[in-house]
Structure 1
């Protein structure tokens, strides 16, 4: 175990330190303003040169704060192809059900795309999104920031090195008090026309689901689930709280919970035949890693990074080097099919296979 903990390079994916990818940021909500713009500003491989928003005031504020931003575009101007010479790639961070329109527009303009997860509101629209990028021959990456988080990558390597033996169980949790964070029940995450199948699994449960996929290098084959909504703000979505089980194709079983109306907590545990790995906090902007084997517990001093900066650096590195991205559209489609199956299982009370 000691050797596995010592032999580690957090940026083992990096192939270049030369070049710059210029981004148009489509959607300038709180996530983009608080996390994405500052992350790109400190990146050596990325630059924000355009923002796309329905608010002229927002665009002006961003341009005043960030000198690299040359253009502020409306959504219509972006779709119509205005100022395409001002950027090389698009980052799409709008409500789930609007991703397809903006990703397809970027693809039509020959621009590579980094699209936030979940990639769309339904499996069908997600498949159309993938097809649009494939037809245009552009790179599509889905924004799973955990894939480049050093502690998560370390956990993945430890599993590969057999530190926990054969993986058997996964326990995942992700919850937050949405109405305290955004004090408005009339928000898109509670609108089924914009969020998709639901709110908690789509927005939060996807984290333990996808991070388990990444750490185990395994995919879901069947699911069971329960969910309910009792608070009046969640009347239009089925999963104020959700619990779901996943069978992976390597034989591992996962038990996960998610809620948009609970205290802020994130955790992921991998239990094997010879030990366990725990990430806690798991899905915040910092991640802790603990390894336990044979009665010896080690709290790993994992490097804390700006997760969004590293995610953008990874995308830029792949694009500049002409290499494939890991979390491509097909990868994201597996999550979409799984989430759809989780909601079907809650409705039927049975086991639902995750089918292509």
Structure 2
């Protein structure tokens, strides 16, 4: 692939193969910070989804949100589980704390509703398998909300890798850090291991973990990990994590994540004939800055910022409306949980752990 071709029409939606009409009606399960600040605005600005039901523990406190986005129904969790207003939505977006994902995703599948579920798919691979099986049995679409797989920079990078623009990928470096307590209180569910299933790895490190699997189009075969915590509000979870991963192709990857460091994300792929560097890929609004070196050619691209969350919901809606299987499906989310569990085992035993 010529680099000029890769940068031509950079923001194209290669997954959008046909013109379609209609929208997917969504029940938003969990009306927390991310749902209000990122998901609902993204759905509103997108083309293929519309919110029709809000599910929250405090319906009275969600009336302003419902009015802002013209959502006709607001119910509590018990009402959702009882099947209230199932005629008002086609799909659900599960944005609760991780430990409740399976409860609401499987209930939605039992109602015959499609599911887009926040990452990680659950707190353990075993519980994630329940979600996958429930959606398979019900014949509904299940998508793990890996927004990176839907946005242009990562998709163009995968094309370059597949076309051999940088030769064989040898090394990948991915990092994501965010000072959690600058935007959240110490009692946030993200610091509760029972609710989150882990710390920086499951909340932040899962982004480079999944994105690297997507770009290399292969699975890790082994992992060595270390975790550290300074105690206090980070007691019981990994405040910082570092992973060394081996892949089927012989490539290796190093991934780091932190709940208590300067906000920063980066992704770099080094091959036998070149390299690709993506600026700030994991923060949600990607600046579309990419540098590619292929042989003796170097090109830089900077385009308009892209809201990954908007891309994600439009991708999900398009898949449901066209009957297309999403790439970040339930098995994709399950594979990451196997890697996460192996990483925590490695951190505990201080040994490399093999992955099937």
Give, in whole Å, the separation in 2 of the partners of 1:153 and 1:8. 12
Q: CA deviation at 1:295?
A: 4.5
Match in the other structure for 1:259: 258
Give, in whole Å, the separation in 2 of the partners of 1:303 and 1:210. 24
Question: Which one of the candidate residues 38, 47, 71 is aligned to 1:44?
Answer: 47
Give, in whole Å, the separation in 2 of the partners of 1:111 and 1:119. 17
Q: CA deviation at 1:57?
A: 3.1
Secondary structure of residue in 2 paired with 1:202: helix
Match in the other structure for 1:111: 113
Match in the other structure for 1:32: 35
Give, in whole Å, the separation in 2 of the partners of 1:173 and 1:306. 20
Give, in whole Å, the separation in 1 of the partners of 2:127 and 2:262. 32
Give, in whole Å, the separation in 1 of the partners of 2:106 and 2:131. 6
Give, in whole Å, the separation in 1 of the partners of 2:209 and 2:34. 21
Give, in whole Å, the separation in 2 of the partners of 1:269 and 1:112. 35
Match in the other structure for 1:249: 248
CA contact 1:165–1:272 (8 Å) conserved in 2: yes
Match in the other structure for 2:294: 293
Secondary structure of residue in 2 paired with 1:141: strand
Say if 2:330 is the partner of 1:329: yes
Instruction: State the Cα deviation string for residues 12-68 of structure 1 (Å, max 9, x = none).
Output: 10133311100000011111111111111122211111110011233211122122x
Give, in whole Å, the separation in 2 of the partners of 1:84 and 1:338. 35
Match in the other structure for 1:232: 232
- Please give the TM-score of this superposition, normalised by the length of structure 2: 0.96
Give, in whole Å, the separation in 2 of the partners of 1:167 and 1:302. 25
Secondary structure of residue in 2 paired with 1:165: coil
CA contact 2:7–2:301 (8 Å) conserved in 1: no
The CA RMSD over aligned residues, in Å, is: 1.3
Alignment of 1:115-134 (within 5 A): 115-134=117-136
Question: Which one of the candidate residues 15, 20, 26 is aligned to 1:17?
Answer: 20
Give, in whole Å, the separation in 2 of the partners of 1:20 and 1:112. 13
Secondary structure of residue in 1 paired with 2:211: helix
Secondary structure of residue in 2 paired with 1:261: coil
Give, in whole Å, the separation in 1 of the partners of 2:98 and 2:113. 20
- Please give the TM-score of this superposition, normalised by the length of structure 1: 0.96
Q: CA deviation at 1:4?
A: 3.6
Q: List alignment gaps of at least 5 residues for structure 1.
A: none
Give, in whole Å, the separation in 1 of the partners of 2:200 and 2:347. 13
Match in the other structure for 2:190: 189
Match in the other structure for 2:72: 70
Match in the other structure for 1:156: 158
CA contact 2:3–2:299 (8 Å) conserved in 1: no
Match in the other structure for 1:144: 146
Give, in whole Å, the separation in 1 of the partners of 2:64 and 2:57. 13
CA contact 2:243–2:254 (8 Å) conserved in 1: yes
Q: CA deviation at 1:127?
A: 0.8
Instruction: State the Cα deviation string for residues 170-210 of structure 1 (Å, max 9, x = none).
Output: 0011111001111x2111111111011x2110011111111
CA contact 1:49–1:71 (8 Å) conserved in 2: yes
Give, in whole Å, the separation in 2 of the partners of 1:352 and 1:228. 18
Give, in whole Å, the separation in 2 of the partners of 1:18 and 1:141. 21
Match in the other structure for 2:320: 319
Q: How many residues align?
A: 351
Secondary structure of residue in 2 paired with 1:262: coil
Secondary structure of residue in 2 paired with 1:247: strand
CA contact 1:206–1:335 (8 Å) conserved in 2: yes
